[in-house]
Amino acid sequence: MPLDIEGKSSPYYIYEIDPKTWGGKAKAIRFLGCGFPLNAKGLIATCKHVIEPVNDGMIVIQHPTETDCHKIEDILIHPDYDFSILKTKLNTPNWIHPEESELLLAASVWAYGYYDHEKIGDEFSVIPQIFTGTVTSSPRKDMGLPTLLPFYQVSFPALRGFSGSPLVYDGPDGGKLGGMLFGNRSSKVIERYVDYIDEDGKTIIEKTERIFESGVAHTNESIRKYSDDLGIEIWKH
């Protein structure tokens, strides 16, 4: 695997706690989503829709190899796009570098995130999962094709809780950050009607519908632009 899944390069999970329990044994309220470092200075990328539902609680992040949770010091939410930056006091020097160019159609990608949680009393846990697949639609103009979407569409869904997971480009030189998952697109692929005649001469019409879900992800260029909009320079242009 391009990433050290059990090491510091794994994504963080983000959840809400009862602020009255901070400083003791933190009481988890709910799992919100995922996030990953943008640099070594404690900036964590996630989705706007992950953070916005929190009202009176406290947002914290936790690494899957750690028992301690870390308090979010500040939140920068993009006014227009599903993107936000969390400021922490974490030191995250070993995270993966971004891919410099936008990904082509059929590029091999994968995502590591957390899709579920379990709460027994005050004990809180998340379940990791990995999806692998390809880029099925890209903003890049490949082979003369027009730009289709302002983001990547990938061949696997983003499960509930995967929002903010890194999209990793599995290139020839190893894994690089390719973007960030933020949702799904559901598309009706085909409707097919098949006529059957039974023994009594009656016509039976069978209707078949096929639905698929594709994950969608911000590109690195979008992440950099959104960060610039928030006054944060994360990668050199």
Q: What is the predicted pLDDT for the residue at 175?
A: 84
Q: Rounded to two decimals, what is the model's pTM?
A: 0.84
Average model confidence (pLDDT) across the chain: 84
Does a structural domain hold residue 220? yes
Beta carbons of 104 and 140 less than 8 angstroms apart: yes
Sequence-separated (6 or more) residues with CB below 8 Å from residue 217: 151, 152, 153, 154, 158, 167, 178, 179, 180, 181, 182
Give the residue numbers spanning the domain of 131: 12-187+212-229
Does a structural domain hold residue 207? no
Q: What is the predicted pLDDT for the residue at 197?
A: 59
- At residue 6, does pLDDT exceed 90? no
- At residue 1, does pLDDT exceed 50? no
> What's 112's domain CATH number?
2.40.10.120
- At residue 148, does pLDDT exceed 60? no
- At residue 28, does pLDDT exceed 50? yes
Does a structural domain hold residue 60? yes
- At residue 109, does pLDDT exceed 70? yes
Question: What is the tens place of the pLDDT at every residue in 157-176?
Answer: 988 889 999 999 988 877 89
Does a structural domain hold residue 83? yes
Number of structural domains the chain divides into: 1
Do strands 43-46 and 28-37 pair parallel, antiparallel, or not at all (unpaired)? antiparallel
Does a structural domain hold residue 2? no
